Structure 1
């Protein structure tokens, strides 16, 4: 049983006042109480069982790790972005080469049990199946940001949240204005997405010396952008819902949550345990979500939201502290972060590159109407102009008329560059393009527009972010 700090102090006071026949013990007890009264607050808050209060200790421990975690995440996203770029380029080249027929035949190859409604093409498996792994990682990062990261505090969350909202609304408005009155209005959400891995990778390549605060702003902005994109996919692109498989999926998500909560320490210390117990449940949840009519990638997000950010070790896991044998180390296990490290390589090294390989495989000489079609114009204008306009204007308005502030190291020129870089909307934008248009020509037009708009956005960002290398003072 855990005691509050006040209860712990009362317990110490009662011990010091208790009569005893041993004067040495009395003196020792008094010294112990006196030293406890002058000890740091987190030491005085130790409960009778020798543990720190759960909430305070978790906040203390995770707060110290936040900056290092974000730096590691930025490095990982940069590497994964480069891999995805290479895969997308390969798919585009093959689709426009003499082996294009082989490429399209490979993409349209069907595998899977037809009786379960899972006889899908390889292209569909990459978008509906493999991207669920990507969205699981996105969900883990979202939860960490909302619980312990920049989004957990209003003062640091308000600017990137508002900027992300502006970066979603303005591109959507531009697209709707270009496609007003046309059936293609259904694609309004395509230019609203930002690809985290692509954006961070490009930022590291074209502007490696920008302030860390600017990198974290872009990362947080993209995380919020992904959250909005997930909500759009779940709501705007769900036409019919089959409730029986949906209920089954939600029940299994609840089971997944219970196991992750109760056995969190076991999953943290035994990496194979999650593969044996949680992975099979996750696969069934994905299949049920796919059968329900809601896009199956949402299953990855729901499962990720059930994973605790940190779990307290149980009694068997407590390590003895050398200076205080009667105390135990209650440092929490960062379960969500460990899951991210374990499953991240699968997403970055396989799932997303395979999706990019098939999604970018669009023939320029095919049925697409790129670049003069309103679909293409709306997407490119939304990505290249809408994103930076929405992000920069929202940020400047917020910092001008409220007490919210950006880091002093971030200059307006760099803010515009990051806003332009947010127009790199590859992975999620490609997925939304597939969901928006059933007609192959419309979908190909949208994909080519996403790729072209992303390339132009990178060029615009480079104009604002690239800095000349400092001259060597040596002769």
Structure 2
């Protein structure tokens, strides 16, 4: 009888370069999440203060670049312009995962991909079920599908002192697939009337970008003007401008040539990641999260079918989708969960993934052009994210206490006889 092949451990010990990349991404996103949280709090406080009129004037003020045919409000510049940098980083991270990371082989990709897909499909299904029962609009089905990795990692950083590092890595890998799903949804379902001439120009720019990469052309003076032109053409084509960012991120080379200390993708990510996490995304939050939290506005969250569907999708949908998706992948594929993680850890992570902020707010604006309805959807995103964060905090703090207790018990055992556990024989004595 032929022995079965061993099952692949997901998020086990990674090669050193991959560990460095994951650590850097986690560090930047965690700090960025704290900045994002601060920006969201400022936006909410400002929009509900006596100075709310000034907030609205700044948010709605227009300025443009006539040469590129652009005249946008401050809110649109942050959503269409600055978020393109965020999606450029997302494209680079996705490319890295596909080439050298956890998604490069089917065995390792199965678990996070299945978990992420289920974590998008179930929230959308619960939203559709809620609005169908309540006779509401189905156009917001994609709002609860997105996870805000920066916010989620920031919450995890505050709660976690002894949780396994594999939990953070699992969340990061899951978010990469989640970002890809959000990008595809924006590109396919939220595209206005197409200007094929501008779209063709954007495609030609991307082909030129690809050729420069393949020819190993270096120098920011080539790529910065070309990138701006691609972004402007993509915006004028009717396709959401953030798609240009992810397309360029996927084109950037992630492998190093001989003599290179870092690949072009790594260099770009290293330079832009702090700007994306510390400036671009917080500014978007500052002008997108300024929602009225009056009693009437909050009342719409739990009485209107569309906002209620968003809250249900973010809270219940993410938990059911990611937990069940992870279980099914571990049960029916060759992939298995990292031994350092328990199923209770996965439940806490699935709850944490219900924090949908940046991309959820963006999709909410695209799905509901009417400002009044968009305000209710934004309020629902904030309420759902807050509920998910509170539930995740309760679950993960309990897990953190358990891991801390185990760590302290091991420390006491080591101190008792001076023999670290890793050198202890099965009979309990020290090794030779």
**Alignment pair present for 1:224 and 2:171:** no
Q: Which residue of 2 aligns with 1:96?
A: 48
Q: Which residue of 2 aligns with 1:139?
A: 91
**Alignment pair present for 1:75 and 2:27:** yes
Q: Which residue of 2 aligns with 1:127?
A: 79
CA shift in 2, pair 1:143/1:289, >3 Å: same
TM-score where L is the length of structure 1: 0.79
| Structure 1 unaligned blocks of 5 or more | 1-61, 268-272, 314-329
Residue 365 of structure 1 and its aligned partner are, at CA, apart by: 3.4
Find 2:223's aligned residue among 272, 278, 290: 278
Residue 367 of structure 1 and its aligned partner are, at CA, apart by: 7.9
Q: Which residue of 2 aligns with 1:350?
A: 279
Instruction: Check the 8 A contact 1:142/1:227 in 2, yes or no.
Output: yes
Residue 305 of structure 1 and its aligned partner are, at CA, apart by: 1.2
Residue 312 of structure 1 and its aligned partner are, at CA, apart by: 1.4
Alpha carbon RMSD of aligned pairs, Å? Answer: 1.9
Q: Which residue of 1 aligns with 2:270?
A: 341
Residue 371 of structure 1 and its aligned partner are, at CA, apart by: 3.4
Residue 179 of structure 1 and its aligned partner are, at CA, apart by: 0.9
Matched residues in 2 for 1:134 and 1:284: separation? 18
Matched residues in 1 for 2:379 and 2:320: separation? 23
Once the two structures are superposed, the pairs formed by residues 153-172 of structure 1 within 5 Å of their partners are 153-172=105-124
1:110-154 deviations in whole A, cap 9, x for unaligned? 000467541110001010111001100110111001000011122
Matched residues in 2 for 1:104 and 1:224: separation? 35
TM-score where L is the length of structure 2: 0.86
Q: Which has the higher contact order (CA 8 A, sep 6+)?
A: 2
Q: Which residue of 1 aligns with 2:425?
A: none
Q: Secondary structure at the match of 1:120?
A: strand
**Alignment pair present for 1:445 and 2:376:** yes
1:395-419 deviations in whole A, cap 9, x for unaligned? 1122123332000111111100000
Instruction: Check the 8 A contact 2:113/2:177 in 1, yes or no.
Output: yes
- Would you say how many aligned residue pairs link Structure 1 and Structure 2? 389
Instruction: Check the 8 A contact 2:136/2:305 in 1, yes or no.
Output: no
Matched residues in 2 for 1:221 and 1:252: separation? 31
Once the two structures are superposed, the pairs formed by residues 315-464 of structure 1 within 5 Å of their partners are 330=259, 333-365=262-294, 368=297, 369-464=300-395
Instruction: Check the 8 A contact 1:140/1:340 in 2, yes or no.
Output: yes
Find 2:187's aligned residue among 219, 234, 256: 234
Q: Secondary structure at the match of 1:150?
A: coil
**Alignment pair present for 1:303 and 2:230:** no
1:277-301 deviations in whole A, cap 9, x for unaligned? 2111111111100110000110101
Matched residues in 2 for 1:439 and 1:331: separation? 50
Q: Secondary structure at the match of 2:302?
A: coil
Instruction: Check the 8 A contact 1:261/1:307 in 2, yes or no.
Output: no
The higher radius of gyration belongs to 1
Once the two structures are superposed, the pairs formed by residues 161-310 of structure 1 within 5 Å of their partners are 161-180=113-132, 182=135, 184-263=137-216, 267=218, 273-274=219-220, 276-310=221-255
Instruction: Check the 8 A contact 1:261/1:311 in 2, yes or no.
Output: no
1:375-399 deviations in whole A, cap 9, x for unaligned? 1110111011100100111111221
Instruction: Check the 8 A contact 2:136/2:306 in 1, yes or no.
Output: no
Instruction: Check the 8 A contact 2:83/2:281 in 1, yes or no.
Output: yes
Q: Which residue of 2 aligns with 1:49?
A: none
Residue 366 of structure 1 and its aligned partner are, at CA, apart by: 9.3
Q: Which residue of 2 aligns with 1:37?
A: none
Name segments (4+ residues, structure 1) moved above 6 Å. Answer: 471-474
My pick for the range that moved more, 175-184 or 292-301, is 175-184
Q: Which residue of 2 aligns with 1:36?
A: none
Matched residues in 1 for 2:165 and 2:295: separation? 43
| Structure 2 unaligned blocks of 5 or more | 1-13, 416-432
CA shift in 2, pair 1:120/1:183, >3 Å: farther
